Amino acid sequence: MYGKFFSSAFTGSMVGSGADVFAVWGYVIAHTVDSLVELNPIVAGAQIGMAPEEVSAAIATLCAADPNSRNKESDGCRLVKMGAFSYQVVSHSIYRNMRNEGERREYNRIKKQESRARKSGQTKSNAKSKKSAHTEAEAEAEAEAEAEAEAEDAALLVFEFWRKTFSKSARFKLDQKRRKRIDSRRSEGFTVDDLCKAILNAKNDNHLMGRNQNSTAVYDGLQTILRDAAQVERLIDLNAPKALGRRLGVTPIQPAKSGRSPAQFAAELERERIESGQ
């Protein structure tokens, strides 16, 4: 058996789920037939090299609802349990029929165009127009989809950097509130590098870290750290302890400057987090 493992799996809402989840997801893709897969934790674990309980935990993650998933069917769940060891792979039919990454982008573009049409109250009959107008609409939809993909990659990178910096577990997700806060700061002109630096420097802020005489409360939430432009500017100007950067094994480098994509940088952060046992 074989399946298609698109690079979008590493840039979507599964980012930071952990090596176990991606290993089981690869097993699922390779063994799915007609959108169904047999998942026995003992059998799958023996083939992958994982303990049965680790496989079961990964399966539970894949069966959980994900509001940030690109595919909204079944509440974003990637697997739906059908029997003792039988699971439906929700997006299998969609991606199985795509021959290459270009078709995946075309699929995302069409879905975005359909979404825009619904929002504007258009019907299928109204969607037909002259060729020039249609081409312009396609180009606009594609550009908008690419911009959203770029924003999603940037948000995931900033979120993963925050999660690693403050040793947050995998149960912390990039929800709509956190994504909106990141997008708001980026719309004000702050780069990914700026936001990562502010997050890192927050470790050196007495108020946020609860080192005040009148309060020991710690305010290390992503929304608090990136509360507004003034907060980000203040934190950027702080000097982060060099020992912290060495301990984390990372520095807030803008991916474009380092030659790495946001997805690659986020994957490196997650790999370092796993290897360090954080």
Q: What is the pTM of this model?
A: 0.40
User: What's the confidence (pLDDT) of residue 84?
Assistant: 87
Q: What is the pLDDT of residue 243?
A: 39
CATH class of domain segment(s) 7-96? mainly alpha
Q: Please count the residues of the chain.
A: 278
Give the HSE-up count for residue 139: Cα atoms under 13 Å, Cβ half-sphere. 6
**pLDDT at res. 86:** 92
pLDDT at residue number 74: 83
Using DSSP's 3-state secondary structure scheme, residue 233 falls into helix
Tokens of 249: 């094994």
pLDDT of residue 167: 87
Q: How far, in Å, CA of 32 to CA of 2, rounded?
A: 8
- For residue range 118-149, what is the model confidence (pLDDT) as tens digits? 666 655 545 455 555 556 666 666 666 666 66
> Buried (b) or exposed (e) across 63-87, using 16+ Cβ within 10 A?
eeebebbbeeebebbbbbeeeeeeb
251 to 18, 206, 238, 240, 269: CA distances (angstroms):
21, 21, 15, 11, 10
pLDDT of residue 131: 52
3-state secondary structure 144-163: HHHHHHHHHHHHHHHHHHHH
Domain ranges of the chain: 7-96, 149-276
Residue pLDDT tens, the chain, 278 long: 566 676 777 777 888 889 999 999 999 988 888 889 999 999 999 989 999 999 999 999 999 998 888 778 888 899 999 988 999 998 877 666 554 555 556 666 776 777 677 666 655 545 455 555 556 666 666 666 666 666 677 888 888 889 888 888 888 888 889 989 998 998 888 888 888 889 988 888 888 888 877 777 888 899 999 999 999 999 988 864 443 444 444 444 444 444 555 556 656 665 665 665 54
